[in-house]
Amino acid sequence: MNLADCYRVLGLNYGASRTEVKASYRRLARTYHPDVNTRDRLAQQKFIELTEAYKVLLSAIQPSEYDRPSNPSQTVTPTTDSQVAEESPPTPPVRPKPPSVHFTPPLSPLEQQMKWSSYEHLQQLLKEQRFARAIALVEGLAQRIPHDPEVRQWQAIAYQRWGRHLVQERQLEKARIYLKKALKTDPHNRSLWAEVEIDFRRLEQMI
């Protein structure tokens, strides 16, 4: 699982801070924890995926000043008398505003079941290159669950995959439309931008 996948699993934009990662993991873990979903296999798999993504991101993201301990005994360094004399009078520390956490309303059990059932169906449709059906499926899901970041990412990926197929079929104008829709649907997904950039280069070579 790469970093982009880890951010996607936790419903965060690429580059989110450790604080955001921890907050998102705690929120999602409460929803998918095995103790809450004793008979839901998909929820248990989702919890394992969340935990793996959380561990990867914590090991990859360097702590910011928001994550460092505030205990003075851990942050104060010794100074000499001359250094103290030269220092200006102390001023109150300016605390930067903490990064905002993007809140997503929790899904009901019925919405969770619908979401992951649709995801499995979407994966199968994309594998079979039934792109029109895949797009219809994920667009319908996005209407039912409009604020879910994962659904939005799935929708953008479906557009990109269809656009790539259209490039291969030399339907270039139609391909351009769907590739642009992919970027508009999930504009902060860097992995998606990289894939679309490859598709646009191929498209330009065919003109």
3-32 pLDDT per residue, tens: 778 888 888 887 778 888 898 898 888 888
Among 116, 148, 123, 129, CA closest to 24: 148
CATH topology of domain 111-207: 1.25.40
Contact criterion met (CB below 8 Å) for 21 and 12: yes
Q: How far apart are CA 144 and CA 153, in angstroms?
A: 15
Q: Which of 70-79, 117-126, 155-164 is predicted with the least confidence, judged by mean pLDDT?
A: 70-79
User: Alpha-carbon dihedral of residues 50, 53, 57, 59, nearest 10 degrees?
Assistant: 110
Cα angle: 118, vertex 122, 123; to 5 degrees = 120
Domain ranges of the chain: 1-66, 111-207
Q: Compute CA distances 18 → 8, 57, 89, 108, whole Å.
A: 15, 8, 34, 27
SS3 39: coil
Q: Which of 51-60, 103-112, 127-136, 197-206 is predicted with the least confidence, judged by mean pLDDT?
A: 103-112
> Which of 95 and 172 is assigned the larger pLDDT?
172
Cα angle: 59, vertex 60, 65; to 5 degrees = 90
Q: What is the mean pLDDT of residues 83-112?
A: 54
Q: Tokens in use for 147? A: 């604020």
Q: Compute CA distances 167 → 136, 192, 201, 207, whole Å.
A: 20, 16, 10, 11
Architecture label for domain 1-66: Orthogonal Bundle (1.10)
* The pLDDT value given to residue 6: 84
How large a percentage of the chain has pLDDT more than 90? 29
